[in-house]
């Protein structure tokens, strides 16, 4: 059973929605965010990445950063950029990227269901990033950016969502990167109740993107319980803002790797070592066409790698992932990248940037690049159902949710 609740969102005035909507805080560097927000005082980047309004020498975790985020959020409320819905609502959020369309329901989800395992994760989180987002929630008293959750598709929910999408949206715009965004407000009590009841039939939810935001919401709820001496089951912080998408509408892109050096090997010797676990052949195609195949860019030339039989345990849902096959058979034993979470010799490039980004980075000094076939939604859910976590940087969801279209203040 998945419990969802409506809430009173603060939303941009329709004529400002395109300018307010921004990338999530963790997609951009501070410099990229500063450039994107330049000349746009209502960009939600001023809330999600408030360091862009301060001197670049100030630490991201400085008290002044969180204070500026709070100041910017409540300025947007006080000046009418963001306006509160008068009654609790659900919201339908649709994204269009080329021919790909996905539509989710914006809701408040249960912290208790995350704690009990009914909202499942597939990644570990980093403590420093958890601390940062927890403090952001605490200082702003708001859930400023939604978590991206998935559920196994439910045809009745699809029909209810499609019925909402048959009406004119309150927002309908194309962002600067060409992604279409539309939002509908579901204020009718009958429609809200129907969606709430149908989600009771969904056995569990999956964190697709936003593990640190989820963990921060949970930690904030736990801290609040401690202050008040009880579970506080009805307190606003016992739920967190999320967008719920059916799994069959979602798309995961490849998440590729770069390594700074060859671990003391010559290119020829590297090819020999790689050949022990993979078949290796030159190719003009940089992007793998199937699972368990990889592209390797070395000395300006692409090679196709095919994992040899027996190089991975096919019955293990983690070890048979492409990211694990590459890590266990090549990155660790050959290139010496034992812990990709901490090793500064490895970097990761989301598939949205294309193969050209790998080629550019290698021209600029990285020694070798690897292109991977995307992880599937079925693999993600299989890992989460088994109570396990994927290796780091296994999934890149696209398109990214936009922040600022719905904001939840926690004392209302």
Within a domain: residue 391?
no
pLDDT of residue 342: 86
Q: Are 237 and 286 in a shared domain?
A: no
Within a domain: residue 393?
no
Q: Are 130 and 277 in a shared domain?
A: no
- Domain span at residue 358 reads 255-373
In this predicted structure, the answer to whether residue 108 has a pLDDT above a threshold of 60 is yes
Within a domain: residue 245?
yes
Distance CA 395, CA 206 (A): 13
Within a domain: residue 378?
no
Q: Are 53 and 134 in a shared domain?
A: yes
Specify burial of residue 304 (Cβ count, 10 A radius: 0-12, 13-18, 19+): buried
How many independent structural domains does the chain possess?
2
- Reported confidence tier of residue 113, pLDDT bands at 50, 70, 90: very high
The two tokens of residue 376 are 């599937």
Cis peptide before 196 (omega within 30 of 0): no
Within a domain: residue 383?
no
Taking only the tens place, the pLDDT of each residue in 360-412 is 999 999 999 999 999 999 999 999 999 998 888 899 999 999 999 999 999 86
In this predicted structure, the answer to whether residue 341 has a pLDDT above a threshold of 90 is no
Q: Are 242 and 272 in a shared domain?
A: no
Q: Are 87 and 236 in a shared domain?
A: yes
Q: Are 122 and 190 in a shared domain?
A: yes
**Residue 236 DSSP code:** G
In this predicted structure, the answer to whether residue 233 has a pLDDT above a threshold of 90 is no
Within a domain: residue 386?
no
The two tokens of residue 240 are 């967190």
- The full 3-state SS of 47-101, as one line of letters, equals HHCHHHHCCCCCCCCCHHHHHHHHHHHHHHHHCCCEEECCCCEEEEEEEEECCEE
CATH (domain of 261): 3.30.1760
Q: Is 133 helix (H, G, I), strand (E, B) or coil?
A: helix
Phi and psi for 236 in degrees, rounded to 5?
-55, -35
Name the least confident of 27-31, 150-154, 172-176, 185-189.
27-31
Q: Are 222 and 210 in a shared domain?
A: yes
Taking only the tens place, the pLDDT of each residue in 251-280 is 999 999 999 999 999 999 999 999 999 999
Name the least confident of 89-98, 291-300, 377-386.
377-386
Taking only the tens place, the pLDDT of each residue in 236-258 is 999 999 999 999 999 999 999 99
The two tokens of residue 264 are 């003391």
High-pLDDT (> 70) share of the chain, %? 98
Q: Are 295 and 156 in a shared domain?
A: no
Taking only the tens place, the pLDDT of each residue in 148-177 is 999 999 999 999 999 999 999 999 999 999
């Amino acid at each position: 059973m998945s419990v969802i609740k409506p809430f009173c969102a603060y939303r941009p005035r329709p004529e400002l929605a395109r300018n307010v909507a921004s990338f999530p805080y963790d997609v951009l560097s501070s410099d990229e965010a500063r450039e994107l927000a330049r000349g746009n005082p209502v960009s939600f980047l001023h809330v999600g990445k408030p360091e862009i309004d301060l001197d670049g020498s100030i630490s991201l975790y400085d008290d002044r950063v969180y204070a500026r985020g709070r100041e910017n959020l409540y300025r947007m409320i006080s000046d009418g950029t963001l306006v509160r819905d008068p009654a609790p609502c659900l919201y339908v959020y649709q994204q269009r990227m080329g021919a790909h369309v996905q539509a989710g329901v914006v809701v408040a989800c249960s912290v208790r269901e995350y704690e009990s395992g009914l909202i499942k994760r597939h990644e570990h989180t980093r403590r420093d990033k958890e601390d940062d987002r927890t403090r952001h929630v605490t200082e702003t008293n708001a859930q400023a950016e939604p978590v991206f959750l998935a559920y196994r598709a439910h045809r009745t929910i699809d029909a209810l969502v499609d019925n909402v999408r048959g009406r004119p949206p309150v927002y309908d715009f194309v962002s600067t990167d060409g992604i279409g965004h539309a939002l509908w407000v579901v204020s009718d009590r009958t429609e809200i109740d129907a969606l709430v009841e149908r989600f009771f039939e969904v056995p569990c939810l999956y964190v697709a993107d936003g593990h640190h935001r989820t963990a921060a919401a949970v930690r904030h709820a736990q801290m609040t319980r401690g202050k008040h001496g009880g579970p506080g089951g009805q307190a606003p912080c016992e739920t967190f803002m999320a967008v719920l998408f059916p799994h069959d509408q979602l798309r995961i892109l490849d998440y590729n790797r770069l390594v700074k050096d060859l671990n003391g090997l010559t290119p020829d010797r590297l090819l020999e070592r790689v050949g022990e676990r993979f078949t290796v052949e030159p190719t003009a195609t940089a992007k793998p066409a199937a699972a368990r195949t990889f592209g390797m860019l070395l000395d300006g030339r692409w090679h196709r790698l095919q994992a040899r039989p027996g190089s991975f345990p096919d019955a293990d849902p983690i070890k048979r992932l492409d990211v694990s096959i590459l890590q266990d058979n090549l990155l660790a034993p050959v290139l010496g990248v034992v812990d990709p979470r901490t090793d500064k010799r490895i970097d990761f490039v989301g598939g949205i940037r294309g193969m050209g980004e790998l080629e550019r980075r290698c021209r600029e000094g990285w020694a070798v690049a690897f292109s991977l076939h995307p992880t599937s939604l079925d693999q993600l859910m299989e890992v989460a159902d088994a109570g396990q976590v994927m290796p780091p940087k296994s999934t890149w969801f696209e398109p990214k949710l936009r922040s600022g279209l719905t904001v939840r203040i926690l004392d209302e």
